[in-house]
Amino acid sequence: MEEVIIATKNRGKAKEFDRIFKAKGMKVKTLLDFPDIEDVEETGVTFEENAIIKAESIATLLGKMVIADDSGLEIDALEGRPGVYSARYAGNEKNDNANIDKILEELTGVPENERTARFRCALAVAQPGEETITFAGDCEGWILTERRGTNGFGYDPVFFLGAEGKSMAELSSEDKNKISHRAKALEKLEKNLSFGPRTKS
């Protein structure tokens, strides 16, 4: 059975990838299976650059195919912030509530029609000796003035989806996984990447 490494320690992300690859007869491992591997420093200025850095670094280290993602929130009124700094926007320690508090404070007085935002996700697929390929997905919405809902994580409670009439945190996990930025990127990956054992010509 072929093996694919997902460059994450997030169990929720791992389940989304596992669904695709198990159906194709592939075994999924994550960085939780490689505790000696240190976190890769994300020095890119875009989600795509960070995903490529992570995927290529670990693919080179392990000599296997690696898929990495980088994702976050872009708010138009904040000139695209928090962007690649989404996870640690309020400080070096990841703190979802502190991050939300910071963007709500920065958006004080900004009218609803100017609070447009989007979640973005970039996936990078790296294999030793081959060119890295990337896939992207996004989800459009706008930022509420207060939290709504208890599902999800990160900025979900203040990210409102017009078509759904709900915040991301008011959706069930099943519904979120149909429309999220990561779901869209995964769909592109699944459609455009060939998996499974290779045959010799």
Q: Which fold has domain 3-192?
A: Maf protein (3.90.950)
Q: Is residue 38's pLDDT more than 90?
A: no
More confident residue, 191 or 47: 47
Catalytic residue among 36, 70, 76, 138: 70
Which pLDDT score, from 0 to 100, does residue 195 have?
54
Residue found by looking up tokens 């519904």 in the block: 175
The ranges assigned to domains in the chain are 3-192
Per-residue confidence band for 194, with pLDDT thresholds at 50, 70 and 90 = low
Token readout for 89 is 């926007």
Which pLDDT score, from 0 to 100, does residue 126 have?
95
The number of residues making up the chain comes to 201
Number of H helices, E strands in the chain: 5, 7
Residue 70 bears catalytic tag: yes
Percentage, residues of the chain above pLDDT 70? 96
Asked if 31 and 9 count as a contact pair (C-beta separation under 8 A), the reply is yes
What value does the mean pLDDT take over residues 183-189? 90
Which pLDDT score, from 0 to 100, does residue 197 have?
41
